[in-house]
Amino acid sequence: MPNLPKSSKTFLGTSQARYEVEQMKNNIDGKGTFAYFGIANGLQRCVNEKLHKNGIIEIRIHADEAPVTKSGTEHLWILAGKVPFDPDIYKPFEIAIYDSEGKPKTAEIFLRRFIRELNILQQDGIYIGGKHLGVTLKCIVVDTPAWAFLKNTVGHTAIFACERCSVTGEKVEGTTVYPSTNAEERTDDSFRGFQQPEHHHGTSAFLRVVPFLNMVAIFVLDLCIFVVKE
Ligand SMILES: [Zn+2]
C-alpha cells in the first residue's frame, strides 16, 4: 500500500534532521544565514525502499526564493528535493535554506555542500532500510531568477539571456525582445565551452556534478514567457 506513510515520523511531518545555522555572506551587506539539511537526510525520511524495485531513486531538485513577510525585504533561497514516483506519494523535503535581505554572495558558496553530497550519492548510492539504492538526479526545476543565479548566467532580461538558443535580444521601450526564433541552439557542449561568453557570468558549480549533467536540458523552467517581435 504505497499511499500509506512510511513511518509515524513521515505521517506527523516531524523531523530528526540535524543541522547547524552558519553565516554566509549575501550580495548586499554581507549578512546572511544558511542551514544545510542534506539530500540523504531527506531521502532517509521519506523513501520506502520496498517500492523501488528497480533499485533506483530519482530526485528532482526545486530552487526558489520566497519572501519571509509580505512587507519586508528579508527572503529565503530554498533548495528542496522531491522523489517523483507513480503514484505521487512523496512530499518535498528541504535540502538547504538561506535567509537574508539579498541572495547568497555567489551560487558557488550556496551550492558547495549540495554538489558535494549529490556527487557522493550518485556515485555510491544510499542504504535505506538495509537496502542499497542508486540515486539519480532527474531534473532541476527553477524560475528565471533562480535559473540564472544557479547556472551563473546573465539575468533573464539580458541581451544574451536565452537558455535554449544563442539569439541576440534587443531593447524595445525598456523591454528585451528576442526577434528571431531560429538562432543556433544552445547545447551542453556550447554551454560548457562558453561559446557565447556574453551568456555567462562565470563558471557554474553544476559543471562539477558527476556524471556530467546536460547543462541545458537538466534545467526545467516552471514558467515560460516568450516575447516575439512582430
Ligand atoms: Zn532561444
C-alpha count within 13 angstroms, C-beta hemisphere, residue 175: 9
Q: What is the pTM of this model?
A: 0.88
CA of 32 to the centre of ligand 1 (A): 34
d(CA 50, CA 111): 31
Q: Which amino acid is at 81?
A: G
Q: What is the pLDDT of residue 227?
A: 47
Chain centroid offset of residue 70 CA: 24
CA of 165 to the centre of ligand 1 (A): 4
Q: What is the pLDDT of residue 224?
A: 46
Q: What is the pLDDT of residue 8?
A: 66
CA of 211 to the centre of ligand 1 (A): 26
Residue 170 CB neighbours (<10 A): 13
Give the containing element (helix H, strand E) for 42: helix 39-46
CA of 163 to the centre of ligand 1 (A): 6
The answer to whether 222 touches 144, Cβ cutoff 8 Å, is no
Q: What is the pLDDT of residue 223?
A: 60
Q: In a structure prediction context, what are the per-residue pLDDT tens digits for the chain, which is 230 residues long?
A: 667 766 666 666 666 667 889 999 999 999 999 999 999 999 999 999 999 999 999 999 999 998 888 888 899 999 999 999 999 999 999 999 999 999 999 999 999 999 999 999 999 999 999 999 999 999 999 988 899 999 999 998 999 999 999 999 999 998 999 998 889 999 999 999 999 999 999 999 999 999 999 999 999 988 644 444 44
Question: What 8-state DSSP symbol labels residue 129?
Answer: T
Strand pairing category for 126-128 and 32-36: unpaired
Q: Could you tell me where the beta strands, DSSP code E, fall in 68-130?
A: 75-82, 93-100, 126-128
CA of 109 to the centre of ligand 1 (A): 29
Q: What is the pLDDT of residue 180?
A: 86
Q: What is the pLDDT of residue 14?
A: 63
